[in-house]
A and B are shown apart, each in its own frame.
Chain A
Amino acid sequence: MLKHEVVVVGAGLAGQRAALAAIEAGREVAVFSKLHPLRSHSGAAQGGINAAVGKEDSVDTHIYDTVKGSDYLGDQDAIEFFCQAAGPTVVEMEHFGTIFNRGEDGSLARRPFGGAGFPRTIYAADRTGLALLQALWERLGTEEFTLYEEWDLTSLVVRDGAVQGIVAFDRRKGDFAQVAAKAVVMATGPFGRVYGRTTNAHSCTGDGVAAAYAAGAALKDMEFVQFHPTALMESGILITEGARGEGGILKNALGERMMAKYAPHVFDLASRDVVSRAIVTEVLEGRGFPGDYVHLELMHLGKEKIESRLQEICDFTRNFAGIDPVTQPIPVFPAQHYMMGGISTDIHGATTLRGLFAAGEAACVSIHGANRLGGNSLLETLVFGKEAGIAAAAYAVSATAPSLPEGGLDVATAPIRAWSRRTEGEDPSVLRTEMQRVMDRYVGIYRNESDLLEGIRRVRELKKRFAQIRVVDQSPVYNLNLSDALEVGHMLELAEAIVVGAYARTESRGAHARRDYPVRDDARWMKHTLAVRGPDGPKLSYSPVAYTRWEPKERVY
């Protein structure tokens, strides 16, 4: 039987940083990932990482911008901790070897980003995530730990209210295994693939979040889903906010600089929820281009700036849309991009389940509240990945030896093995496509009661059908049909938590925009949604938002 002190699931930035922290704390560590760590979705982050290191900038301004960006749903104590850790975190990553862009004086270059009072986004061209991922993986490679590459997570093992380990599936060999662990860190990233139109990678299926939820951990603020304003029209591929940070502007079909109406002070650099709603409104009111999109124009920035600062964007638009951003506008429309919600944790990554920790996009601390600012997610992975690693290591020292139930593996995997024995049943990909259509249609940027009710009904129907799916592929080696089924099962649970949370929250706040309740309602709704899995779906409860210094105000950009 496999046995480790600390098991980290997910090997993107948060998982790797957690692993490094636990190793540095002297613990024996194993990392499980369904992708090679360098293929993690952290590497797709483009724009940059925020740290108020400029002379004119201050940590307090970063805190304020983040609080305001969160539409006052972020916990202010957590945000203070987070912003204070920003400078040291970026410096540490530079010391690990990250190749950042530089100013003429040799210091870290910074670019303006949406919702930020100063240019505070430190960057590596438009591939900052990749730069950080390479440096952290190369730093982690100098340490001793066990990597389980291309393993799927199926579930957590819990006994007497405490985590004892995980059940995982080795894609290469086709074996299920129980892995005993004193502490588990979930860092499996987002679950954007519950939507069809998303910037997220195919692998972003929330396996760790679903496993935590199934094991009894509370999820927080699941209804807050960020839609990135500028995704390529057809493919949903991300065009970084850095494109607007460098001076790119949005234009409607009348040729108007459309953001002047919605954000008269900062125009195109308003917060993402604001810009996404503006684009949808322009299209709904008939000022979009035929095919329902608007233009992102970079041409006026000039060839040199576009090709040096937005190198990957040039490749993306040329290769994926056949458009040269130097001479042509880019057709864009919002796409699901980031999940503010996730496994509920405190500042140190502790969840509501003993022995389970979480960090990164899989977790919800909450620092992003109802809307995340660009440049804060890369920072989050590193700051809270480290915290979760430290906390998991400390817990592992005092935890009793994990005990896995006799025959537990057979019990845990029986329903999964049943999929492969069926002679008829739907393919998991059919349900995945239908779920994505339901979420795109009923739980999108603008929401209302009747849509959300229909969404709940349809997701629950899909859950019923999921119980009867069939896995056709019988091979033990790289059986993606089986991995698909695991992922779809995970996503359906998370989709339900999103839509149920959205239905219950009868206000508009940040990324959660209800047509039938268009105003923020601080008296009733200044609180976090907590979802715990029950026999009939999520059971909701609410918890207070932590305040320190910033009184809620109306949010104007």
Chain B
Amino acid sequence: MVEATVHATFDVYRFEPGTDATPRYDRYVLDLPPHTPVLSALLKIRAEIDPSLSLRYSCRSAICGSCAMQINSKSRLACEAPIGPELARDGRIVIEPMRNQPVLRDLVVDQDPFWQNYRKIEPHLILDPRHPMPEGRENPMTPAQVDRFKETPRCIACAACYSACPAVEADPAFPGPMALAKLYRFVVDPRDTARQDRLVRIQTDGLWLCLRCHLCTEACPKDVRPSERIRDLKEMAIAAQGATEPGSRHALAFKENIRDRGPLNEMKLARQSMGLTELVAQLPQGIRIWRKKPELLRAPHAIEGDDEVEKIYDALDDHRSSEDLP
């Protein structure tokens, strides 16, 4: 089979900390069929042009999670990204290491912090010795219970979500989308006996630092949808413990605010989300906002048809209560 090839230009990030003063981009031009995966192209570059190019890879079938990298600024698996669409859109293919993880060399990043975050959520069944597992046979689990894991068992720990996440970049206390999706997997496991503890603990261990931007869900090559599972965890945490944290109080206040009048009342929101001490601590920030955009801090008028908003909420509440949390 002879296939048409395309002229493919790769600009590949090269950097060896400690040796190179600054990163550089090496350009490689190859003629390849358009459906060639980026990984195959990089391996061809290694085999035929430059064996010193360093990257992680193994299975080449999107199951080992080794080859996540930035391809034209998107974090994805190189093995399942064909070059054709990239070239058609951007004219060239820029290959860079994943974000939020220090570069060790070229496209290889230090994943230790990523794995530490995964370890922190205690990713194993926590058992209660008073309820031993059935001897000699499996725990019963219905297909409906298996469905509650959603797509989390598909996670291959590639860290594409971690790379795409602005909360990880902003705050090292945020465990990252993968770790939280993994936490969800243990929280909904009927064999695990620490559901309540896990939910209470994560309220103060970074759950509410998620920015709800859904970039993790967009980046995930296995459709794990971490942001949706984080949303579930938030709901479960509030159900388990109540709105005890600024994050959870903020979420509830946000909801009530909108329900009440339509637009947000920033002053009220701040009051409801934060305790008095936090409110005082935030005062300088409030003053800065007031100087620049005083209208933000004014109580908004109710919008026209605000009763319709309330009806939407009522309908949502009815729907939600009829559908149990995972």
Contacts and interface: CB of A to CB of B under 8 A. Distances in A.
B105 A475 contact: yes
Given A138-B124, A202-B58, A478-B105, A39 B52 contact: no
Interface stretch (A90-98, A271-279, A393-401): A90-98
Contacts of B145: 102
Contacts of B62: 315-316, 319
B176 to A, nearest CB: 15
Given A91-B136, A312-B63, A322-B35, A102 B58 contact: no
State the main secondary structure of chain B at its contact with A. Answer: loop
Nearest to A477: B105
B191 A43 contact: no
Interface residues of B, number: 55
A358 B133 CA distance: 31
B117 to A, nearest CB: 14
A162 interface: no
Contact of A91 (B66, B104, B119, B137): B137
Contacts of A91: 136-138
Interface in A34-65: 35-36, 38-41, 43-44
Nearest to B133: A95
Contacts of B16: 475, 477
A88 B65 contact: no
Contacts of A124: 153
B131 to A, nearest CB: 12
A97 to B, nearest CB: 4
Contacts of B140: 105-107
B124 A43 contact: no
A555 interface: no
A105 B141 CA distance: 8
A50 to B, nearest CB: 15
A35 B64 contact: yes
A438 to B, nearest CB: 17
Contacts of A237: 60-61
B136 A481 contact: no
Contacts of B59: 39, 41, 43-44, 201-202
20 contacts: A35-B64, A39-B58, A39-B64, A44-B59, A95-B138, A97-B191, A99-B189, A103-B143, A105-B140, A130-B154, A141-B124, A201-B60, A238-B61, A319-B62, A427-B51, A472-B52, A473-B52, A477-B54, A480-B53, A481-B51
Interface of B: 1, 16, 19, 35, 37, 43, 46-48, 51-55, 57-66, 80, 104-106, 108, 111, 115, 119, 123-125, 133, 136-143, 145-146, 149, 153-154, 156-157, 185, 189, 191, 222
Given A41-B59, A44-B63, A322-B35, 16 more contacts: A43-B156, A90-B138, A94-B138, A97-B124, A99-B146, A124-B153, A142-B124, A172-B104, A201-B59, A235-B60, A238-B61, A319-B80, A429-B51, A472-B52, A477-B54, A480-B54
